[in-house]
Chains A and B, each alone.
Chain A
């Protein structure tokens, strides 16, 4: 048991998948909606505090931008040879963070990683806001902001076109495409949830605002068919896109002739670093979020653990890339290359280099320890180090390679000015302000998607929890109470649909109230059966579900040859077991009745 399930507290088991349920607390669909939407409808005091702090930081951005535009780029510490300085460091830093969202929503979607549904919405939002911050920096770094449209192929009076052979131009196309596609992806995912907000809205302004953005969504399955096709294809296109974007960002460096930049390892190394930093930022945002919004049952410890594992993997890849850079610098026999790397680790910027190594290579190794990767606090602290480390990585790449260029007479040391710092803080202000607004007005969890991965979402899941939920007064620690989830139930129906909810106090969850006959596994979880069962079931269940649906479809066409003898029995049976027999039997008899009626 201990291999799969934590021993510290009991967890609900998904009766279809046989593994730990993605939504804990035995929630109904309505309770999931409620859990996600409630914090949006009633703003939290903590939200106001966070928002005020963000706004303060944002004002730092406004001031720095004003000073920059008034005085020019001379207010920064950029010099020759270090012409790129902090703006490009910050650009790469923010673009990197912007990679986790699409990775979670697209790559994990294609790999059918269902746990992504609890975290994809907020990560996508994070991506979009991070890319906005990223786009800011090259825009202002060009100096003459008012001619920023020059990289775009717009016919002009000079009859000139941009140089399509330049990686900097590829970057313009890559990052702007990435921003547009991420935004579309995010919005498409939001439509059903905005419709939920619309249908719950009480005030006129909310009704209109959500109503317009929901586009009149009415959950039609004819729509869902097109919707899912579009969503899947967006994921399929976003996956190579996300890999291409940071590869192209790395081309900005790798295609140049500068020792320390001109390496073929850059594209994969940058992509690994981007995923690493992106997941770091997701953890930084999600850990407080799940606590403040009380979403622990939706964003479970298992979700955090999975993200931590991604951090461990990509952190190790990044560490491998660091060492491989050194190996190649030596193995190539190129003295300039060797100099660049020795200088990087032991030169003027050695301090930055070793901060980078300790944050990016050493910190993630703590994730090997289960205690650490299952502790939100430890992961939060760790994620901060990841963020710091990845900023320093970009700083090391930019500053240490540039400051000692080909001519020793032009060597110089780069140090930032107060305006560099205030601009960087300001970009965090922009990021957090946007994120706070997102938390305030949009569902932070993809409600519709999350419901679709719950076991009862399967059309072959026959259990009806409401009818089977008995109250056992004998069990210790079980308190019965009326359902107070606050759903606006049409009164006529209360008795019929909304049963008495059983609130289990503390860790006594183990004593499930008279478990539903259906999810046998849930009961079994208490004893050792679950351990063996869960493994096979997890694999078998998906196949089974598919088979079942096939069978059903066939059965309906065959119009029932056999009479149903054990139908009553079967309906009491387990979901998996029932799938084959029951499907055909049930269907057959239904069809017969139907014929009789018609």
Chain B
């Protein structure tokens, strides 16, 4: 006997950012945790309607940028003072003003790595397969439609009640997505 496919959750489709915004406030106030909004572009202020906390990417960037700059200085100091001291144009071994450009560049370089790869890590990208891609309507998320997905693993999830909640919003369409 074929197993019944597992349910990932419910997917509601909206036409405008305003509809989505109000719906997000409702879902947030209903106390859901494992849910998400999907938009073709960042809808500004939606994180408030969703009750999300600010990103921690800036901290990653700070740590990475600072280590990049420190590494840059250590590299130059160690090679010119410790490992192979050499007098060049009469300057002291530790001619730190001349080290500034490389310190700066390496700080920026590692900071950028922190921003990009930190963001990938926090977002679990790349994730080439995702259950939501099973929905044929979901392809418009990168075009002109806005979605809310509520996952079945959420303790508050109930096929009937969650659907009722989404029904009470301006959703154009609500469907169950397979896992």
Contact = CB atoms under 8 A, between A and B. Distances in A.
Q: Do A and B bind each other?
A: yes
Interface of A: 28-30, 33, 153, 159-165, 169-170, 173-174, 177, 180-181, 184-185, 187-188, 192, 195-196, 198-200, 211-212, 215-230, 233-234, 237-238, 240-241, 244, 248, 251, 447-449, 451-452, 456-462, 464, 466, 487, 490, 493, 496-497, 549, 552-553, 556, 586-587, 590-591, 593-594, 597-598
Nearest to A453: B41
B2 to A, nearest CB: 27
Nearest to B126: A215
A500 to B, nearest CB: 16
B172 interface: yes
Contacts of B147: 219
Nearest to A448: B41
Contact of A459 (B46, B104, B112): B46
Given A173-B101, A174-B105, A219 B30 contact: no
B23 to A, nearest CB: 10
Given A29-B144, A496-B172, A221 B37 contact: yes
B18 to A, nearest CB: 5
Contacts of B44: 452, 457-459, 549
B148 to A, nearest CB: 9
B115 to A, nearest CB: 4
Interface of B: 15-18, 20-22, 25-26, 29-30, 36-50, 52, 54-55, 57-58, 61, 65, 75-76, 79-80, 83-84, 88-89, 91, 95, 98-99, 101-102, 104-106, 108-109, 111-113, 115-116, 118-120, 122-123, 125-130, 132-133, 136-144, 147, 164-165, 168, 172-173
Contacts of B41: 192, 448-449, 451-452, 457
Interface residues of B: mostly helix, strand, loop or mixed?
helix
B40 A29 contact: yes
A381 B175 CA distance: 56
A218 B172 contact: no
A225 B88 contact: no
15 contacts: A33-B143, A161-B83, A164-B98, A164-B102, A174-B105, A215-B127, A219-B39, A221-B47, A222-B52, A228-B55, A237-B65, A448-B40, A552-B25, A586-B22, A587-B22
B143 A29 contact: yes
Contacts of A188: 116, 119
A188 B47 CA distance: 20
A170 B58 contact: no
A218 B58 contact: no
A205 to B, nearest CB: 16
Most buried by A among B16, B98, B106, B168: B16
Nearest to A244: B104
Contacts of A181: 108-109, 112
A597 B167 CA distance: 11
Contacts of B129: 216
Given A456-B16, A459-B20, A237 B40 contact: no
A238 B164 CA distance: 47
